[in-house]
Amino acid sequence: MWFRRSRPRTYGAKPVRVQCFAALALAAAVFTLAGGARAADDRPVKIVVLGDSLSAGLGLPADGAFPAKLAQALKAKGIAVSVANAGVSGDTASGGLGRLDWSVPQGTDAVIVELGANDALRGIDPKVTAAALDGILSKLRDRHIFVLLAGMQAPRNMGADYVRGFDAIFPALASAHRVVFYPFFLDGVAADPKLNQSDGLHPNAAGVDAIVARILPQVEQLIAAVRTARAS
């Protein structure tokens, strides 16, 4: 019995053209996926500032508070962000821990933790402050939220032992949790009458501008970490 040699199957009369179309479709799909990845990377980074009156903007208009001024500075550099103000005047580190879940909503990419000033002013045991801040950092880590920890220093009239114990909280936690760290939120501003309101404690408009300018490199580092994680 003779067997007829079968012709190779083709999709139509011009298989080469079909292969070309397939290659083009594949290239288009890859381009679309790459474009989607780029679009995901370009989404604004959502930042929450979890703090006390220093970030809430006590004595200042809403658009003069630290979160608003920070957002303006970042957008001026072409960095797409949204910065929410979750500052509560008078709040302590323990208060921040207690309200963390509703102050930092789902979808937040990063948090700037600015707490501790009221703990020091009230003479709260540094161990209590450290435990509360550790709880905040642990919860944010478990939620895969990036953190910038802003350090605080105790007033020097609190006594050497208290100052030493309190000031050591922030670098120790930053190292243990491996977060972005800004050693002193009021660096260059504290005790300068030109940069503070009449109470001598809260930054005025110029003081907020000074804080933003000094902390900006660490905030950019925080944003870069978010974007790197998105791309991985």
Q: Are 82 and 109 in contact (CB under 8 A)?
A: no
Q: What share of the chain is helix, strand, coil (3-state, %, to 5)?
A: 55, 10, 30
- Separation of alpha carbons 198 and 70, rounded Å: 23
Q: Which residues are tagged catalytic? A: 53, 199, 202
* Residue 87, H or E segment: strand 81-87
Beta sheet of 180-182, edge-to-edge order = 81-87, 45-51, 110-114, 146-150, 180-182
Strand partners, 146: 110
Residue labelled with tokens 């298989």: 15
Per-residue DSSP letters for 14-83?
-HHHHHHHHHHHHHHHHHHHHHHHHHHHHSPEEEEEEESHHHHTTTS-GGGSHHHHHHHHHHHTT--EEE
Q: Which of 101, 97, 138 is nearest to 119 (CA)?
A: 97
Q: What are phi and psi of 228, to 5 degrees?
A: -65, -40
Please give the DSSP secondary-structure letter assigned to residue 182.
E
